[in-house]
Structure 1
């Protein structure tokens, strides 16, 4: 028999407006501690110095993390022109410099190459695994290695401000797996002037907005206080991009036991992935086939 997890059996999402200077995992641990929750995870890492949306999943909501990770997300970031660093952000050492400063029109033209389905090489100081080891560990040891390019979908990348000749502020909407630091690096190389990220903020991720997020200070202030529970959002928010079907009571019972269950869904087709609900609560995610939902994930929520 497995050891029972300590803590409260609570499920839902807490959207944190992450400050700079703290890791994503540290924020998750703080939320879990403050709520006394058994289980917690997050939907997409932010670099320690980055700010903005960090969606923390609790309990059964951790089963919906892949759907938030796969959703579009948006970043606002400032690129420092004229300097490349070994980490592609302001935390690293300057390794190349240039006096060249492109015009706004040249920048806008260059941005077009980064929209759509592109290939991107992650920064060497990243958590990408190379032969079982994290790239950033190899980079810190000055080891020579290459990282393969990865596909990234960029829906939009636009210039929103030019505070001065050395800096540009951009906004990007993209799919999963993107590295903003790589965008800054590659843009600088394309413009011939080098570049790195100076500031980075994730302004929204899937259904979650930074402006609606709770601060770490508030989490600490309300730790162990029932008032913190009021900031929890339903598990079902993580399933918004999937069609919903209604379970019959008998179907819900079968689904909770891992078996196909009868559902009612007017807008789904054979083979569609969808989620089944009973009285507004998620029962399972699965594939719709001939009036039944065949479950791939089952939610054990209190009814």
Structure 2
């Protein structure tokens, strides 16, 4: 019987909040970070288009188990819409499909924003990762197919016009999971009768991580110059954020060493004390600040569902 393969790389865990540069794909960015950190596992929480810059949270090691909690978080984008052209990709990359000499007045743009705030119905762009009959929409679009993508509800918590400049308007939006900013630009242009597309897009926030946590890729690449491997990896690891920070929206349960041992064996623990939640579908447990499990609280117990090393 053959021995199980030993994973390549280090069992390093934590979140790196990358400031992704333009013309760098999200998958490409994850591969680069995984290689730099010599990590066994890596994944990201929310794709950024190659032409978009800004926050790309990347999970290493056990932190990949917490990716869904970050994917579901609110996001903030700053973006610029250029009026006069609609494009096949709804950004600078695509071909012009519609054009107009009309330009909207600032008061007309402001009057439009309440309609796009709250729960709205949105049709994702043709060039998107939405699956249609098992195929990615962008693959079908590249093959020249025009596909019917069903509309879906998304949440827009805040939409602000930051200013106008010539043929451009600058916005900031705080939105929920699944919102396509490119689709907002497309729909603004159609409704204003002038067409429009995204000419600049930057993500500045993915809950719970703020802009101050972002690390430019060039800062990490610069550390490649450190010849001593251990010193280089230690310098990189200093940028990592504790895995538990991704779970700040969940109730937190600090436990003792004895309780942590039981949890790691997959066993429930009895909870005592006035401050203990009576019932929670999800909570996370830590020992000395280190994440050990995500589980549920009920009937006076914490029952682990996902245990961390």
Q: Match of 1:139, SS?
A: helix
Aligned counterpart, 2:256 = 248
Aligned counterpart, 1:4 = 6
Segments of structure 1 that go 5 or more residues without pairing to the other structure are none
Aligned counterpart, 1:221 = 222
**Structure 2: distance between partners of 1:191 and 1:45:** 29
The correspondence for 1:27, drawn from 26, 29, 32, is 29
**Structure 1: distance between partners of 2:51 and 2:307:** 36
Q: Match of 2:238, SS?
A: helix
CA separation of 1:274 and 1:162: change in aligned 2, threshold 3 A = same
**CA shift digits 1:220-279 (9 cap, x unpaired):** 121351211111111111111111012233332222122222346726331342111111
**CA-atom RMSD, angstroms?**
1.5
**Structure 1: distance between partners of 2:138 and 2:158:** 28
**Structure 2: distance between partners of 1:44 and 1:264:** 38
CA separation of 1:291 and 1:139: change in aligned 2, threshold 3 A = same
Segments of structure 2 that go 5 or more residues without pairing to the other structure are none
Aligned counterpart, 2:137 = 135
Q: Match of 1:76, SS?
A: strand
Q: Match of 1:294, SS?
A: strand
If the length of structure 1 is used for normalisation, what is the TM-score? 0.94
Alignment partner of 1:295 is 2:304: yes
If the length of structure 2 is used for normalisation, what is the TM-score? 0.93
Count of residue pairs brought into register by the alignment: 299
Whether contact under 8 Å (1:80, 1:195) holds in the other structure is yes
Report matched runs for 1:128-277 at 5 Å.
128-164=130-166, 166-223=167-224, 225=232, 226-263=234-271, 266=275, 268-277=277-286
Q: How far 1:297 moved relative to its partner?
A: 1.5
**CA shift digits 1:138-167 (9 cap, x unpaired):** 111111321111221110011001122x10
